[in-house]
Amino acid sequence: MIDSHAHLQDKEFRNDLDKVLARATQAGVEKIVCIGFDYSASQKAVELTRKSQNIYATVGIHPHDAKTLDDQTLEKIYNLALNPQVVAIGEIGLDYYRNLSPVEQQKKAFVEQIKIARELGKPVVIHDRDAHQDVLDIIKKEKAGINGGIMHCYSGHLPLALELIKEGFYISFAGPLTFKNAKKTHEVAQKINIDRVLVETDCPYLTPEPHRGKRNEPAYVKLVAQKLAELRGMTLEEISRITSANSRRVFRMDF
């Protein structure tokens, strides 16, 4: 399996990262994509790729921190993205739930980072919370999916997912897929093309059942994959093989 979205640089892992990585390997996780969310976290993600050949990085400024994205920071993100272990720009996007940065600054940061991804030929990893229509509008206008993209921890409905897939995106499912009341997410996971599905943890957040309420970690991506297998009427082995191939394709990982 591949955990397509993890935050290994988070302070939650500072005391036992080696053990966390060992448990991931034991659970069958062969690669982990460590996601940047501000400049410092993006730097740390790149540094972690030197710790293990099984860790890849993304770099970007999360919509919560969009207000911090000036020209100097944008240039720094661009330069970080030149590292060969950086497989995408992200996580970027819009978050209207918390609105920690003004909406117009969120949109500007989103567009500017899509431009970097387009120039460098890299996919984008998108965070979308309560901003579905604006995210879709910007994706279409900026051709954000031209090099592929990932809708991280997908929370939208089926018609939107199908529209995003047309734009070149993959749909990634995290711990909430295992929640009993996630009927809308279950429907999307059941009905979209399996060749456009990824699995992730978003660790240390969004811990799947039965560990909900505790710290999440990459080993638990297996629980997301198991739920996806159940919903699709497939085996865990089939889901692991297909979603891993999908991750390699969209992130252009070495086989």
Q: Encode pLDDT of 219-246 as tens digits.
A: 999 999 999 999 999 999 999 999 999 9
Domain count, the chain: 1
Average pLDDT, the chain: 97
Q: Determine whether 97 is exposed, middle or buried from the number of CB atoms within 10 Å of its CB (0-12, 13-18, 19+).
A: exposed
Cα R_g (the chain), whole angstroms: 17
pLDDT at 254: 75
Rounded to 10 degrees, the C-alpha dihedral 238/243/244/245 comes to: 90
Low-confidence ranges of the chain (pLDDT < 70): 255
The vertex-247 CA angle with 244 and 253, nearest 5°, equals 105
Nearest to 34 by CA among 72, 2, 66, 65: 2
3-class SS of residue 58: strand
Q: Residues for the chain: how many in total?
A: 255
pLDDT at 63: 98
- The residue to which tokens 């390997």 are assigned: 25
Structure tokens at 24: 């991931």
- Distance, in Å, from the CA atom of 86 to the CA atom of 58, rounded to the nearest integer, reads 5
What residues does 125 pair with on adjacent strands?
A: 150
- Cα Dmax for the chain: 49
pLDDT at 104: 97
Rounded to 10 degrees, the C-alpha dihedral 116/121/125/126 comes to: 60
**What range does the domain containing 177 cover?**
2-251
Report yes or no: 133 and 97 within 8 Å, Cβ to Cβ.
Answer: no
N- to C-terminal Cα separation, the chain:
13
- The residue to which tokens 């993600």 are assigned: 45
Nearest to 255 by CA among 26, 31, 11, 63: 31
Nearest to 145 by CA among 189, 109, 114, 106: 114
Q: Determine whether 253 is exposed, middle or buried from the number of CB atoms within 10 Å of its CB (0-12, 13-18, 19+).
A: middle
Report yes or no: 16 and 163 within 8 Å, Cβ to Cβ.
Answer: no
- Distance, in Å, from the CA atom of 249 to the CA atom of 32, rounded to the nearest integer, reads 14
pLDDT at 220: 98
pLDDT at 255: 52
CATH code at position 174 = 3.20.20.140
